[in-house]
Amino acid sequence: MHIPDGFISIPTSAGFGAAAAGGVWYSIRRAARLLDDRRVPLAGLVAAFVFAAQMVNFPVVSGTSGHLIGGVLAAVLVGPWLGALVLTVVLVVQGVFFADGGLTALGLNVFNMAVVGTLGGYLVYRALLAVLPKTRPATVAAAGVAAGISVVLASLGFVLQYAIGGEGGASVATVAAAMGGVHALIGIGEGLITALVVGAVLGARPDLVATAPKTEVAVHG
Amino acid sequence: MDRRLLIFLGVGLVVALIVAGVVSGFASGEPDGLERVAIDKGFEEAAADHSLGDFPLADYAMRGVENERVSTALAGIIGVAITLAVSGVLFYGIHLYGKARHRKEAA
């Protein structure tokens, strides 16, 4: 889902770049209150893991692959504001060092994946938590489902950008249908990986999951 | 920092390095979702070459390393290190900024 240079016009890219910068600045302000000596290395580890996981493209349908975005994963583990910054760091590193995602498209990509995917997906996670029982399996399921939906949300971010300043003359309606469809499939993989990792961390160190609800402990006897 | 947290961070880092250095070698090389849509809907021609495409790590391949697996693995491991370094500087900086703001508000 990393947009290269050329797909979206420069003025549109600049506009979304400004919106993305606003989101990043707001996230910095909010994250500044939460960061302590424990969360600084944790957020670094989550960024490193998201970078690594994004390298692993999995096949979805014939001739098409997808990879983890990791926005909801990061938001669940370290909170939404740090999560958005984790994704921003990964996207900057990929764009600058690995030629993955165009430099003029960096704002578009940060907008779609760090802002819409991470913060939007986190809202879905919170909404699911509100209606689900406060148990560990429910938390894992909420993270997985929200992660899957976040991929579609991020892909619709691209559709919006293409509708405003898309190059190449494809019709917005067919781009929307195709983007939503393929990313719903990629979202299944995103959901499974997110559930797996959140479940593993909750099993090992539930106290390190910033957004997990306090689970009810069954008392026997 | 307590010892249990250090163990968690160490295990997490090893997992990240295995994913970037080993699992990445099995990644699908097919176009991703956006590339597929661009090809099918006829706008992939609009893509420009990356302005830093000559960088030694471009496209997750370590330049000058013939073996594809090794080249990808090296790029992945270096990428994990770069990501850790950038996030370390950024997040520690934000932490200091937060502390300074807090002190100013308290004063």
Tokens of A94: 């990929």
The pLDDT tens digits of the residues spanning A102-138 come to 999 999 999 999 999 999 999 999 999 999 999 999 9
B105 falls in which pLDDT band (50, 70, 90)? confident
Provide the whole-model pTM. Answer: 0.96
Interval A184-190 mean pLDDT: 98
Interval A147-168 mean pLDDT: 98
A66 DSSP β-pair partners: A58
Give the Cβ contact number of residue B27 at 10 Å.
18
Contact criterion met (CB below 8 Å) for B37 and A162: no
Least confident of A10-19, A159-168, A211-220, B40-49: A211-220
Tokens of A176: 């929307």
Q: How far is B18 from chain A (nearest CA, A)?
A: 8
Q: Which residues of B touch A51 (CB under 8 A)?
A: 16, 20, 79-80, 83
Residue whose pair of structure tokens reads 């370290």 in the numeric block: A78
Q: Which residues of A touch B17 (CB under 8 A)?
A: 52
Q: What is the DSSP letter of A58?
A: E
- pLDDT, residue A60, reads 96
A213 falls in which pLDDT band (50, 70, 90)? confident
What is the rounded CA–CA span in Å between residue B54 and residue A167? 25
A221 falls in which pLDDT band (50, 70, 90)? very low
Residue A81 in 3-state DSSP?
A: helix
- pLDDT, residue B101, reads 87
Contact criterion met (CB below 8 Å) for A165 and A8: yes
The CA-atom distances, in angstroms, between B62 and each of A101, B27, B54, B83 are: 18, 16, 11, 16
The pLDDT tens digits of the residues spanning A34-85 come to 899 899 999 999 999 999 999 999 999 989 999 999 999 999 999 999 999 9
Among the listed residues A104, A106, A142, the one whose alpha carbon sits nearest the alpha carbon of residue A123: A142
Contact check, Cβ <8 Å, B47/A175: no
CATH topology of domain A10-208: Arp2/3 complex 21 kDa subunit ARPC3 (1.10.1760)
Q: What share of chain A is helix, strand, coil (3-state, %, to 5)?
A: 70, 5, 25
Strands A58-59 and A65-66: antiparallel
What is the rounded CA–CA span in Å between residue A154 and residue B88? 26
Q: How far is A162 from chain B (nearest CA, A)?
A: 11
Please check the confidence at residue B14 and state whether its pLDDT lies above 60.
Answer: yes
Residue A152 in 3-state DSSP?
A: helix
Interval B10-30 mean pLDDT: 97
Please check the confidence at residue A150 and state whether its pLDDT lies above 70.
Answer: yes
